[in-house]
Amino acid sequence: MKIDLLLTDCHAATLSEGEGGYGVIEDAAVAAAEGRIVWIGPRADLPTVSARRTERLDGRWITPGLIDCHTHLIFGGDRAAEFEQRLGGATYEAIARAGGGILSSVRATRAASEAELFASAMERLEGLKATGVTTVEIKSGYGLDRDSELKMLRVARRIGREGGVRVRTTYLGLHATPPEHRANPEAYVDEAVEDILPAACAEGLVDAVDAYCEPIAFSPDQVSRLFDKARGLGLPVKLHADQLSDSGGAALAARYGALSADHIEYATQAGVAAMAQAGVVAVLLPGAFLMLRETRIPPIDALRRHGVRMAVATDCNPGTSPLASMTAAMNLACVQFRLTPQESLAAATREAAHALGLGADLGRLEVGLRADLAAWDIQNPAELAYWLGKPVLHARWLDGVRS
């Protein structure tokens, strides 16, 4: 068998479905050809191969490349001053209602050029790549007008071409009401639904559609208008749901068969049951929980009881989660939300792939899946959620190519 890449002298955590635990293969070998895994198993069982490149990993662990399935990676400026305000006692809602929060990032993003947005996002991306990330979801939502939203999505596509990661783009048109529409939010909903989304779709810039469903943002009825439009365009949907209040977001996501419902700190038992029935992935965002000093954790026990898939992501953004490390997100999910290390690794690989609609192609080490891989300087997989700040990545491969 002729192959492009052979990795030997390693231990593999396959994260395969139904195996339980990490899906460990001790003293493993992994072979890849044409960007996909063509063989994986114990090295003693490796068939005769002719490899263009062979790499011995000297006993390191190999996992699927990590997947950050919820980011706002592209934005202008920062919101460090708001961080200071929150430490001084101001609430997120109060800052937002005073014209700060998302709208301050909108002003900076509108003022930035595509080149400037690309350069700053690439700096943040380096943090994710250094923690084993090979796939990143990137949302718009800091433009909130046609030109600026398309600008963000074009930058996201460029990152996918030049950034050394796989990128999925998400149109987050209903993120906040822009200042020019403050007196008439419905006019902005019309624009987001009937103008911006079709234009972005026509340019091939959108892989999924998202919205922020909260009293300080958009109502279920407004979100439904956007989701109906997305459905008509053949696009899957995701939802910022039940982060700050019980707004019925989990149930709304379930009604539309969403890929994921994200945050869900205030999701009800009924909402969780609806998510389970519809196959909606729960995306947990412990960085925002930490930065906002929240106290109500997502309903983890209910998610487990109903068999809802749980993913973990950084929610990298300038205001509520300036987090650019997937391994730190995994640690926080364990410490704050009481996930096990095995759950957190599955949440950053297999389950995150499902949250992006990529579960058939990514997130596990199995024959036929893409050879997006990460090798680690660790003694066991639990260390990926254990170390906080210690660099443990040895190498990444995207489609079997080291990057």
Burial (0-12, 13-18, 19+ Cβ within 10 Å), 300: middle
- 281, 308 Cβ separation under 8 angstroms: yes
Alpha-helical runs (H) found in 41-145? 80-87, 92-97, 102-111, 114-129
One domain for residues 236 and 371: no
Q: Judge if 82 and 43 occupy the same domain.
A: no
pLDDT digits (tens, 9 = 90+) for 1-11: 899 999 999 99
Sheet (strand 393-398) strand order: 36-42, 24-33, 2-13, 50-64, 373-376, 393-398, 401-402
Residue 25, domain extent: 2-64+364-402
The secondary structure of residue 205, as a DSSP letter, is: -
pLDDT at 99: 75
Considering the domain architecture, whether residues 295 and 182 belong to the same structural domain is answered as: yes
Count of C-beta atoms within a 10 Å radius of residue 158: 18
If one counts the domains in the chain, the total is 2
Distance between CA atoms of 253 and 43, rounded to whole angstroms? 44
The pLDDT score that the predictor gives to residue 41 is: 98
> Is residue 203 within 8 Å of residue 155, measured between CB atoms?
no
pLDDT tens, position by position, 242-289: 999 999 999 999 999 999 999 999 999 999 999 999 999 999 999 999
179-192 pLDDT, tens per residue?
Answer: 999 999 999 999 99
Give the whole-angstrom CA distance, residue 18 versus residue 74: 36
* Domain CATH number, residue 273: 3.20.20.140
Write out pLDDT tens, residues 30-60. 999 999 999 999 999 999 999 999 999 999 9
Q: Are residues 237 and 268 both part of a single domain?
A: yes
The DSSP call for residue 74 is -
Q: Are residues 343 and 371 in the same domain?
A: no
The whole-angstrom separation of Cα 9 and Cα 384 is 20
Sign of the CA dihedral running 185, 189, 194, 196: positive
In angstroms, the Cα distances linking 35 to 4, 46, 368, 373, 402 are 8, 19, 9, 11, 11
The label of the residue with tokens 């596990």 reads: 364
If asked whether residues 387 and 290 sit together in one domain, one would say no
What is the structure's pLDDT at 94?
85
pLDDT-derived band of residue 91, with 50, 70 and 90 as boundaries? confident
Q: What is the pLDDT of residues 189-219, one digit of tens each?
A: 999 999 999 999 999 999 999 999 999 999 9
Annotated binding site for Zn(2+): 70, 72, 240, 315
Considering only CA atoms, which of 40, 7, 10, 13 is closest in space to residue 27? 10
The token duo for 80 is 């460090």
277, 371: one domain: no
Residues 31 and 74 in one domain: no
pLDDT of residue 93: 79
29 strand-pairing partners = 41
pLDDT tens digits, one per residue of 319-360: 999 999 999 999 999 999 999 999 999 999 999 999 999 999
Write out the binding residues for Fe(3+).
70, 72, 240, 315
pLDDT at 198: 98
- Per residue in 99-117, pLDDT (tens digit) is 788 889 999 999 999 999 9
DSSP 47: P
Residue 324 and residue 386 in one domain? no
My answer on whether 81 and 40 are in the same domain is no
Question: What is d(CA 312, CA 342) in angstroms, rounded to the nearest whole number?
Answer: 12
> CATH number, domain at 53?
2.30.40.10
pLDDT recorded at residue 96: 78
Query: What local confidence, expressed as pLDDT, does residue 370 receive?
Result: 98
> 23 with 165, same domain?
no
Binding site members for 4-imidazolone-5-propanoate: 79, 142, 175, 243, 320
Residues annotated within a binding site for N-formimidoyl-L-glutamate: 142, 317, 319
Query: Pairing mode, if any, of strands 393-398 and 401-402?
Result: antiparallel
Are residues 259 and 194 both part of a single domain? yes
Q: Give the pLDDT of residue 173.
A: 95
Instruction: Give the annotated binding-site residues.
Output: 70, 72, 79, 142, 175, 240, 243, 315, 317, 319-320
